[in-house]
Amino acid sequence: MTRLIAFNKPMGVLSQFSGGKDDSPHPTLAEYIDVPGVYPAGRLDRDSEGLLLLTGDGRLQARIAEPKHKMPKTYLAQVEGEPDDAAIEKLRGGVMLKDGLTRPAKARRIDPPAIWERDPPIRFRKNVADSWIELVITEGRNRQVRRMTAAVGHPTLRLVRWKVGEWTLDGLAPGKWREVAGS
């Protein structure tokens, strides 16, 4: 039977089971998940939080992680400033990055989500407003959401991956995991 684990990766945790190149002081998945034979299906950078799926099934891992399968990934991004309609439309139409044009994304402004506090909290700047957007992408370039929001003038302050395909983070606290049904 295929095991599929949904993990709420806290900020600062590496998306791997062993240390980094120089025995990085950052915690790894091994400190949270003691399940043999599962590996991350894709990555979530150290500065991002949220849903990371792990499985031992290579085909499922590929279907989740490889861009050719176009599995939607939903992110909640706290951004600097308040994106206007033009910025949201740019995100929807695709954004030109150094490595080319992104696929069109679903993008919308949202109210601040009812999620956990980040540790450490984002920097607070009295004279710079922040807001939240929801972004759904179907590719997974390195730090793509951060680069997209910066390209439209609204750098990401906090990034939470909320959903991958049909799997969601709903009800899962940071640092916790649960087994979910694979399909």
What angle is formed at CA 30 by the lines to CA 50 and CA 28, rounded to 5 degrees?
55
Q: Active site residue: 22, 23, 34, 45, which one?
A: 45
**pTM of structure:** 0.93
Residue 45 falls in the annotated catalytic set: yes
DSSP E strands in 95-147: the ranges are 96-97, 100-101, 106-110, 130-137
Question: What are the structural domains of the chain?
Answer: 4-67+167-179 (3.30.70.580), 72-164 (3.30.70.1560)
Q: What is the pLDDT along the chain (183 residues), one digit of tens a residue?
A: 678 999 999 999 999 988 655 566 789 999 999 999 999 998 899 999 999 999 999 999 999 988 788 899 999 999 999 999 999 999 999 999 999 999 999 999 999 999 999 888 887 777 778 999 999 999 988 899 999 999 999 999 999 999 999 999 999 999 999 999 876
